[in-house]
Structure 1
Amino acid sequence: MTSRRRSRTGASNGDLEFLILISIRDGPKGCRKRQWFWPGRRGGLCNAPLLDWTFESLALAGVKEIYVVCRSHAEKVKAAIANSKWSRPNTGIKITPIVTAKEAFSPGDAMRDIYTHGIITSDFVLVQGDLVSNVRIDEVVRLHKERRRTNRDIIMTMVVKESGVMHRTRPRGETAVFVLDSKTQECLHYEPVKGYPPQSHAHLPREILSKHAELEIRNDLIDCGIDICSVEVPSLFQDNFDYQDIRSDFVQGVLTSDLLMKNIHCHVITDGYAARVKDTKSYASVSKDILSRWTFPLVPDDNHPGCATTSYDHSRGNRYLSIGVPPHLARASYVGPMTLLGPGSSIASDARVSGSVLGANCVLEQGAVVSDSYLWDGVRVEEGAVIEGSVLGKNVTVLRGSRVERGCLIADDVIIGPDAHLRRLTRVSKKRDQQADEEEDEEEDSDYEDAEAAQTDELRACLGPQSNGILWPDNTPDSDEDEDEANERINQRLLRLGDDASDLELSDGGSITSSESESSDDSEDEFDGNILGLSLSHSATSLMHDGTGVSVSLLADAQAEREFRAEVSASLARAFSEGHSVDNAAVELKTLRMASNVPLRRVREAVVAGIVDLIPIVSDSPARQRAEIAKVMDRWGELINLIGGVDAVETVSVLQEHCSQSSHLGLFGQILAALYQGDIVDEDDIRAWHAMPESRGSGEGAAAENMRRCWAVGRKMIEQLNEQSDSDEEEGSDGDDESE
């Protein structure tokens, strides 16, 4: 523990303490979720402990001192810290583990425990132990300190990230409405939005409108789990024992309190990457983002947290192969794009793996197929077995002829098969040994007893005759559950890998909704005139108060859009004609956006349109046409992602919309191929766009018909990608004779 004198000295020198909260909140019951994804576990994320990814993220910001606060798995967390490369001498970072009381069941309890022991004596940065980020937190800290110099009542700055509607790290079950002062970015109102039941309105206190001339109401922000906090924050948790959650309790409590008189700000990042691995769905999403290199420089072949023991070679299609102990690729094996193979892994003849992460010493026997899955160290998939979109723990064995459908979780050391068939979203644990794990608490024992009691001959048959596992029952609602418990159970579905929740009507369905404000006298009466009901939108809106009344001005207003598009067109024209660098062009566009306060999608639309229109149409020479497209995309394609809020699916959607209404309709397929070749979009993005109902076009007229034509072109491209996978397999058969 750092002494008070040392902490004050550090603070005076400009160094902040970093507090990482991990393993504080109990996860949903079933399959030992806490043991699956606790951040210190080795092999957790792209073959490195998740906690090490967080350390890497903080190291980019020049962190000097880190406290790691945990409750469960304390000894394992300490061991993970000791094994981390950042615990070695001369790294310049001091990492201190802190174990909270067993009674600390929430982040609020942990903060109270920290306050009681006097651990934090200066301003600090609070991050969650499941963070993966390349954001320069030091810059956010600098801005926070500048605000504090003029207003000591600012106690927190929350870091949030702009997100496109379809971005895979945007949580469907846990979003929020942020109401910000447009000039100062002070957070005036925070309202969590669950995916279910569907919620169409947020409720804004009227007093906010009387005090602030211009507001932003935003539902397009991802909470990064990064907070710059003043030293008063732990004491506020101590004074308010009902504060359990950082956001829904503490932030809401501070913003609605008439007594505290404290302020909270937001820092909205448009560059860089930040996401949390909170559940199986975000685990898969962040893994894909790492393989897609959105997290650069935190990528497997450079700054990989496991680089002390393992390094990787990066090749076309975002394929990563271990260098120190290279994988064994047999004749006629196939390794598809977006795949990482750990040291000592082995792919037998006629085995296929794509879109997946394989840990150390994983074995795929002849004819085995693994797609969109995450296999930890020592997994063996025997002959003819198929794994789709699932997570398999260490030393799992899938015996011959077995099939694991999408969304399954199989815990460490489980054997299934032969000829087992695990249906979607199945969870399997190993049968308990006679001697229970010392760290298991009574609740976990009870969970296991319930699961064991629920086993039937039919369930055992699903696992195969040689299985040593138990199949956890579905989380079906109990008859005596109240409505809140039933809704929470449904929201948990939205966080599960492999569950598309297609049978549910959700608040955030992943498509752009109308931005029209829907406020009625009835809704005002319902809240005694103290709250104004506002419709939720996926993009920011602006509230203007002119002193005589309130008018809601949507940024999608046609005139404002025309003016913005004209400014962007002029900016792009200057960049194109004067040969500006892509970075400088991006900075100018961001400045325009800040001045105009338009949604990020509008910027993307303008940039895509400007780049596409720059391509000359060559009608007499297909080869020259391809060359012109390549020339423009090689020079300017990167600009699409540099404007912030990377969303490759939205990029394809915007390209389709523009081409369907322009003279470049016939070039849609070639431009999309150029984006793919330039790693601006990947295969998964194209497939996700093609699966969207909006991409098929609706209604009548030339534009709708052209949308359908673009969709048909996309279908052909997907077919070609599938054929390319087959041809790559044949090529491997002809050219890899020496591998066996």
Structure 2
Amino acid sequence: MAPKAKKQPHESLKQEHVLQAVVIADTFNVRFGPVTLKKPRALLPLVNVPLIDYTLEALAASQVQEVFVFCCHLGEQIREYIKNSKWQDGSSSAMTVVTLLSDSCISVGDALREIDAKSLIRNDFILITGNLVANVDLSQVVEEHKQRTQGKDKSSVMTLLFKNAQPGHRARCKEDEMFLLEEGLTKRLLYFQKSQDQMKFPIPKDILLDHEDVILHNDLMDCHACVCSPIVPTLFTDNFDYQTIHSFVKGILINEEIMGNKIHMSIIQDKYAARVSNLQTYDAISKDVICRWTKPLVPDMFGSSSKKRVKNGRHNVYCGEDVTLSRGSSLGNNVVVGGGTVIGSSTTISHSVIGQNCRIGENVKIENSYLFDNVTIEDNCDVDTSLLCSDVHVLANVVLKKGCVLAWETVVGPQVTLGNGTQLMSEPQKDEFDDLDLSFEGKEKAPDGQANQEKMEEQMDTASYGAKCRAYLYKPFIESDDEEDEIVEDESWWLSATDLRADLSGGSEDSSDEEEDEEDSNEEGGADGEFALDSEEEGEDVVDSALGFNPKACLLKVDADFYKELVATLVRAESEKIKEENLILEINSLKHAFTVPINEVIHSLPCSFIDLAKKLQGNSGASVPSVLAAFKTISSRYSSVLCNYMKDSESQLTAISGIGDFVVKNEEYRTRLPQLFNILYDADVLTEASIIVWYNQSPSPPGSNKALYHSFLKKLAQPFITWLQTAESESSEEEEDEDEDGDGN
């Protein structure tokens, strides 16, 4: 008898391949406005089911065995939800779900760097956002990626997932507008560029010369899901410029010849995949779920459980258990009503989602709207294309026009009408800048109770929101446009695509010509919201009614090309950690290259550092307070550079003039002029004497543009000047007391 073959040692030690996934449960933006102030977007209900469940269900259906949910904003809520969900019940799901919390991450890149530091990734893994609704089998994309990396394209580090969606598709937002070049045979990504309504793209000639089979795409929607090789987190760690997946993809494509890494793509043809990125896509995807395009992720299958049953009726009407419909009430097409909800007589609801345990009165009309749990709407109300969070109370005879958003526990009414796009919250909007250590504010700060009362009285408008309201206007943070941030369209999410196009175009050829002229003007004046004056000339008699003077007649004209290059130099200095003395040499070289006078350099420097802070904070994704916080750090770090150009009182007055021009040009920073002065004062860039000299200047003649301009800035800077004077008097008193004590001894 032949001897039995012995097992090789490596066979017994061979580990089973475990399919892993990383879920980024934070979007690192505020596009849902007041809705996500108290609850993370991953837990917002989409057709009465938390968004994170759609993502985890897609992973479970794809045979994923290990999931890491990375949480930042309000991450404890996500951890607590998953802890008490079916995902921690071994009998319901074989998938292991682990939550990771971090308060310091501000981007996807930071999250992946932390995951790399923890050494959690062992194999190819799925990287996905926590707001994806999909019924596609991602394991097939994983297998496709694995075969590629084990075959001819071993250098492939990522396979991006796209969905066929023509421009204008309702689930496709501005962020998904992109232009791609694909190598047809290998599915390799050759070129990637966000379009944002651009009509022309500069394609590198080498791509067309080196590749015979090139496919052009503008009909794809980014699913924000991809399959990554284990090296991807390490690549993020090695390059801190990678903050988003898109910046990573661009970096790989640009450095492909050097690093040898490649990106591939996979296109979904007959399955569903879409990401809830803003209110527009929230509305579109909700309707897709109700209309059963996402099957099996539909209300009566996915939303039903032993605790809450949902029944499907005709015309896509879904009702939970214990729903009470009074006589005369009617449910139209595409309606979901959660369990325990009571609907009064003569009430009509259509194309809407109603949460659990809601109370809707008599003669109420609800259309194209979304109500979370425990919402109360009293009699004779009209709600059209609005979103109401949990525990909102709408008193009798209230009309909510299109686009209204009422955040958690807000109360409005009675007998008021809220206009289109009104966003309200139950508490005064917090100013992030209040947390910064600005010493001059502490001298004048009123008692907490008095300050809160003043803020509440300032923001609450009972005439507009009702005599019994508990509502404060929410003001979204909108700074400037950036290619990594979608164009702000949440404010008009209620408009149909036709209405939106008509509103933007104006319906005439003249309006399109005006838009072209405006684009040309923007190109001449700078990019990315940078500080630069318009190239148009205005007469002395053209007065801005909001300012009381003509700004173009009194602001210093800055060389746009020089300023743009100055900001780019600062950005590069920050990323490459250039030493201060070398940065000074580069700034001096720019001065000579563009032949600008030294006064213009000094005038531009503080403004360019503010623009540097804006870029470091993501431009349009950053709030004014966060930009000021970054500017404070930058001013302290580069104080020697600033002081090199602002050595005496005259140069400091020029710098103050530059800051004044900046706030005049950027309305959102006008009330922040005291903070800007204080930041440079704390960094020893501006002295008290120079600031007081500037304040006491009296440009002549009185009533001229320069005089009105200076008076306008003086009013803005008054809080800081008052603090300086108060601090000086207190210091003098302390010195006198010390002298008296010394004489007494």
Q: Pick the TM interval, shorter chain.
A: 0.5 to 0.7
In 2, Cα distance between the equivalents of 1:409 and 1:57?
29
Check the 8 A contact 1:20/1:67 in 2, yes or no. yes
Query: What is the DSSP-based 3-state SS (H/G/I as helix, E as strand, rest coil) of the residue aligned with 1:86?
Result: helix
> 158, 164, 167: which is aligned to 2:169?
167
Q: Give the C-alpha shift of residue 11 in structure 1.
A: 9.9
Correspondence list, 1:245-644, <5 A? 245-247=244-246, 249-257=247-255, 258-304=257-303, 307-322=305-320, 325-431=321-427, 442=435, 453=455, 459-473=461-475, 484=481, 491-493=487-489, 496-499=492-495, 501-502=500-501, 505=504
2:72 matched to 1:33? no
Query: What is the DSSP-based 3-state SS (H/G/I as helix, E as strand, rest coil) of the residue aligned with 2:225?
Result: strand
Change (3 A) 1:295 1:484: closer
The CA deviation string for residues 409-464 of structure 1, in whole angstroms up to 9 with x for no partner, is 1011111000121111111000259xx99x99959xx9x99998597589432111
Q: Give the C-alpha shift of residue 29 in structure 1.
A: 8.4
Query: What is the DSSP-based 3-state SS (H/G/I as helix, E as strand, rest coil) of the residue aligned with 1:111?
Result: helix
Q: TM-score by structure 1 length?
A: 0.61
Q: Give the C-alpha shift of residue 192 in structure 1.
A: 1.1
Q: Give the C-alpha shift of residue 86 in structure 1.
A: 2.0
Counterpart of 1:549 in structure 2 is none
Query: What is the DSSP-based 3-state SS (H/G/I as helix, E as strand, rest coil) of the residue aligned with 1:266?
Result: strand
In 2, Cα distance between the equivalents of 1:67 and 1:367?
48
Counterpart of 1:230 in structure 2 is 229
Check the 8 A contact 2:39/2:77 in 1, yes or no. no
Query: What is the DSSP-based 3-state SS (H/G/I as helix, E as strand, rest coil) of the residue aligned with 1:217?
Result: strand
Counterpart of 1:126 in structure 2 is 127
Counterpart of 1:92 in structure 2 is 94
Counterpart of 2:145 in structure 1 is 144
Correspondence list, 1:650-729, <5 A? none
The one-letter amino acid paired with 2:145 is: H
Q: Give the C-alpha shift of residue 123 in structure 1.
A: 1.5
Query: What is the DSSP-based 3-state SS (H/G/I as helix, E as strand, rest coil) of the residue aligned with 2:201?
Result: strand
Q: Give the C-alpha shift of residue 347 in structure 1.
A: 1.2
- More off after superposition, 169-178 vs 488-497: 488-497
Change (3 A) 1:218 1:457: closer
2:16 matched to 1:13? yes
Q: Give the C-alpha shift of residue 364 in structure 1.
A: 1.4
Larger RCO (CA within 8 A; separation ≥ 6): 1
Counterpart of 2:534 in structure 1 is none
Provide the aligned length of Structure 1 versus Structure 2. 477
Which protein has the bigger helix share?
A: 2
2:203 matched to 1:200? no
Query: What is the DSSP-based 3-state SS (H/G/I as helix, E as strand, rest coil) of the residue aligned with 1:77?
Result: helix
The CA deviation string for residues 686-739 of structure 1, in whole angstroms up to 9 with x for no partner, is xxxxxxxxxxxxxxxxxxxxxxxxxxxxxxxxxxxxxxxxxxxxxxxxxxxxxx
Check the 8 A contact 1:390/1:497 in 2, yes or no. no
Q: Give the C-alpha shift of residue 493 in structure 1.
A: 2.0
Check the 8 A contact 2:70/2:100 in 1, yes or no. yes
Q: Give the C-alpha shift of residue 10 in structure 1.
A: 12
- More off after superposition, 134-143 vs 83-92: 83-92
Counterpart of 1:63 in structure 2 is 64
The one-letter amino acid paired with 2:467 is: P
Q: Give the C-alpha shift of residue 148 in structure 1.
A: 0.7
The CA deviation string for residues 442-495 of structure 1, in whole angstroms up to 9 with x for no partner, is 59xx9x9999859758943211110011012466x7xxx6x647x999911257
The CA deviation string for residues 292-326 of structure 1, in whole angstroms up to 9 with x for no partner, is 0000011111122x62522211111100011xx32
Counterpart of 1:22 in structure 2 is 25
Change (3 A) 1:239 1:222: same
Query: What is the DSSP-based 3-state SS (H/G/I as helix, E as strand, rest coil) of the residue aligned with 1:202?
Result: coil
In 2, Cα distance between the equivalents of 1:341 and 1:411?
20
In 2, Cα distance between the equivalents of 1:413 and 1:104?
29
Query: What is the DSSP-based 3-state SS (H/G/I as helix, E as strand, rest coil) of the residue aligned with 1:316?
Result: coil
Change (3 A) 1:341 1:10: farther
The one-letter amino acid paired with 2:169 is: H
Change (3 A) 1:488 1:182: closer
Q: Give the C-alpha shift of residue 166 in structure 1.
A: 3.7
Query: What is the DSSP-based 3-state SS (H/G/I as helix, E as strand, rest coil) of the residue aligned with 2:237?
Result: helix
The one-letter amino acid paired with 2:462 is: R
Counterpart of 1:48 in structure 2 is 49
Query: What is the DSSP-based 3-state SS (H/G/I as helix, E as strand, rest coil) of the residue aligned with 2:177?
Result: strand
The one-letter amino acid paired with 2:371 is: L
In 1, Cα distance between the equivalents of 2:427 and 2:371?
20
Check the 8 A contact 2:412/2:471 in 1, yes or no. yes
Check the 8 A contact 2:167/2:218 in 1, yes or no. no
Amino-acid identity (%): 30
Check the 8 A contact 2:369/2:386 in 1, yes or no. yes
In 2, Cα distance between the equivalents of 1:70 and 1:440?
24
The one-letter amino acid paired with 2:71 is: C
Check the 8 A contact 1:300/1:311 in 2, yes or no. no
Query: What is the DSSP-based 3-state SS (H/G/I as helix, E as strand, rest coil) of the residue aligned with 1:143?
Result: helix
Check the 8 A contact 1:24/1:105 in 2, yes or no. no
Query: What is the DSSP-based 3-state SS (H/G/I as helix, E as strand, rest coil) of the residue aligned with 2:487?
Result: helix
In 2, Cα distance between the equivalents of 1:342 and 1:10?
52
> 161, 174, 179: which is aligned to 1:177?
179
Q: Please say which structure displays the higher CA radius of gyration.
A: 2
The one-letter amino acid paired with 2:16 is: N
The CA deviation string for residues 553-589 of structure 1, in whole angstroms up to 9 with x for no partner, is xxxxxxxxxxxxxxxxxxxxxxxxxxxxxxxxxxxxx
In 2, Cα distance between the equivalents of 1:118 and 1:442?
35
Q: Give the C-alpha shift of residue 269 in structure 1.
A: 0.9
Change (3 A) 1:224 1:375: same
The one-letter amino acid paired with 1:313 is: K
Check the 8 A contact 1:451/1:471 in 2, yes or no. no
Gaps of 5+ in 2: 1-10, 442-447, 506-745
Check the 8 A contact 2:223/2:273 in 1, yes or no. yes
Q: Give the C-alpha shift of residue 37 in structure 1.
A: 5.0
The one-letter amino acid paired with 1:260 is: M
Gaps of 5+ in 1: 1-7, 507-740
Q: Give the C-alpha shift of residue 253 in structure 1.
A: 0.7
The CA deviation string for residues 489-546 of structure 1, in whole angstroms up to 9 with x for no partner, is 991125752145446658xxxxxxxxxxxxxxxxxxxxxxxxxxxxxxxxxxxxxxxx
Check the 8 A contact 2:35/2:408 in 1, yes or no. no
Query: What is the DSSP-based 3-state SS (H/G/I as helix, E as strand, rest coil) of the residue aligned with 1:146?
Result: helix
Q: Give the C-alpha shift of residue 389 in structure 1.
A: 0.7
In 1, Cα distance between the equivalents of 2:254 and 2:433?
39
The CA deviation string for residues 66-93 of structure 1, in whole angstroms up to 9 with x for no partner, is 1101112121111111122122023211
In 2, Cα distance between the equivalents of 1:221 and 1:317?
31
In 2, Cα distance between the equivalents of 1:184 and 1:212?
11
